[in-house]
Amino acid sequence: MSPNLMELSASTLVLYPASQSEESKKENGVLAFESNFPQMKGEMPKEFFWPSGDLIKATQEELKEPLVNLGIMKNGDEKAIANAAELVRHACLKHGFFQVINHGVNPDLIDAAYHQIDTLFNLPISQKLTAKRKPGALSGYSGAHADRFSSKLPWKETFSFLFHHQGFSNSQIVDYFESVLGQDLQHTGRVYEEYCEAMKELSSVIMELLGISLGVDGLHYQRFFEDGVSIMRCNYYPPCNSANHTFGTGPHTDPTSLTILHQDQVGGLEVFVDNKWHAVRPRAEAFVVNIGDTFMALSNGRYKSCVHRAVVNRLRERRSMAYFVCPREDKVVKPPEILTSKNEERKYPDFTWSNLREFTQNHYRADAATLQSFLQWQTSSNSSNF
């Protein structure tokens, strides 16, 4: 760790625990969580308790969430597209969150993808651990992130994998599933291959609309992401008898560019709007779209990265699927000139997704201040090199 990072860590950064030997992990109970989670009965281990300052309840006030009908993007009615762009613009300037309907994704495919979440998380823990996420990597299985963090653990299991938008075979995900979980998971891989293809198409339509809504050429962001590598994540949140004291996913913004999320009918996603937490009512026919930190930078700070979290339920298990759109890792993240030409200052220096991703995997636990902390870190590590 650089000395500068240590200085930062004292004030703003939440750092990983020092790397531990397998022996000390056992002593700390980390491996025990992984193998017993989510069957843990009785009292919730202290590592899952979150500070009371974070546990503020959502308001009962209904959120007037913008629902954007994407069907209009196909028939090319200019007025309808302008109206949709206005809805998106208003939502993104304010909080960075909207939902889309008539998105063209086959509901049977969404059901099939949920079904495969059950296949995945019902595997024996020994098999899930064969696909365990390696330190610093984004793909693989994780139980409560217990091997990465030692406090404020999230009450969830996740399975993540990468999806190359271009230049890979149409069995990239099948191949990954087979390599980490074995031949039996071929069908699961096929379902997610199809799901990710559908997400890629959907993200391209949303990028076009975002471009139009910012007054940028509709093709600009579409092109920027065409050779990207996105992250698909299946989330499984077991029921929790101390649901009021923990989170499934704590408060954060996504460091990625755009998140297309589907949640099941249990509900649990909450967004921070007007200084309050609001529950997002589950809608089977809709996808939730969140602006992430990287898109905030691509819009020169105009569009807000959405602050959100997921709460867990005392009695019911919950599932969600997140497709995190990311550019190619070495692409320079900077806003199009049209957004900075009218004497508007650049809000963020250039960076690459690879740098920001590395920061979240090796130096900082993503939260609601990731981008600011990353920029501070980048500045201090650059200055220490000279």
Ligand X SMILES: O=C(O)CCC(=O)C(=O)O
Catalytic residues, which ones? Answer: 318
Applying the rule CB under 6 A, the residues between 334 and 353 that interact with ligand L2PXNNRO are none
Q: How many helices (H) and strands (E) does the chain have?
A: 13, 14
Helix (H) or strand (E) holding 361: helix 353-362
Phi-psi region for residue 21, left (φ > 0), alpha (ψ -120 to 50) or beta?
beta
CA–CA gap between residue 30 and residue 149 (Å, rounded): 9
- Residue 263 CB, nearest distance to ligand X (Å)? 5
Verify binding: residue 235, ligand X, rule CB under 6 A: yes
Candidates 95, 200, 308, 357; binder of ligand L2PXNNRO (CB under 6 A) is: 357
Closest approach, Cβ 326 to ligand L2PXNNRO, in A, equals 8
Q: How far is the first Cα of the chain from the last one, in angstroms, to the nearest whole number? A: 17
306, 268 Cβ separation under 8 angstroms:
no
255's contact among ligand L2PXNNRO, Fe ion, ligand X, none, with CB below 5 to 8 A by partner kind, is ligand L2PXNNRO
In the complex with Fe ion, the residue whose CB is nearer, 213 or 256, is: 256
Q: Which is nearer to ligand X, 220 or 319 (CB)?
A: 319
Count residues contacting ligand L2PXNNRO (CB under 6 A)?
13
DSSP string, 54-75: G-PPPBSSPP---EEETTHHHH
Cis peptide leading into 38, omega within 30 of 0? Answer: yes
Residue 139, judged by CB atoms within 10 A of its CB (0-12, 13-18, 19+), counts as: middle
Residues that bind Fe ion (CB under 5 A): 254
Q: Which parts of 240-299 interact with ligand L2PXNNRO (CB under 6 A)?
A: 249, 252, 254-256
Site membership for ligand L2PXNNRO, residue 147 (CB under 6 A): no
CB of 251 to ligand L2PXNNRO, least distance (A): 8
Task: Give the nearest distance from C-beta 318 to ligand X in angstroms.
Answer: 7
Look up residue 46 and give its two tokens: 């202290």
Contact stretch for ligand X (CB under 6 A) within 205-213, 260-268, 356-364, 373-381: 260-268
Give the integer Cα–Cα distance in Å for 245 and 353: 33
* Nearest in space to 351 (alpha carbons), one of 370, 369, 374: 374
193 binds, among Fe ion, ligand X, ligand L2PXNNRO, none (CB under 5 to 8 A by kind): none
> How distant, in Å, are the alpha carbons of 25, 208, 281, 325 from that of 286?
41, 19, 10, 18
Distance in Å, CB of 153 to ligand L2PXNNRO, minimum:
9
Contact 102, 71 (CB under 8 A): yes
- Residue from 68, 81, 279, 310 binding ligand X (CB under 6 A): 310
Contact pattern from residue 175 through residue 214 relative to ligand L2PXNNRO, giving x for each residue in contact according to CB under 6 A and a dash for the rest = ----------------------------------------
Residue type for 16, please?
Answer: Y
Q: Is 258 helix (H, G, I), strand (E, B) or coil?
A: strand
H-run or E-run covering 113: helix 107-121
What's the DSSP call for residue 132? B
Half-sphere exposure of 55 (CA within 13 A, CB side): 14
List the single partner that 269 binds among ligand X, Fe ion, ligand L2PXNNRO, none, CB under 5 to 8 Å by kind: ligand X
Q: Pick out residues in 308-327 that bind ligand L2PXNNRO (CB under 6 A).
A: 324
Least spacing, CB of residue 103 vs ligand X, in Å: 17
Minimum Å distance from CB 256 to ligand L2PXNNRO? 5
CA distance 131 to 237: 19
Query: Which positions touch ligand L2PXNNRO (CB under 6 A)?
Result: 145, 154, 231, 249, 252, 254-256, 324, 357, 360, 365-366
Query: Which positions touch ligand X (CB under 6 A)?
Result: 233, 235, 249, 254, 261, 263, 268-269, 308, 310, 320, 322
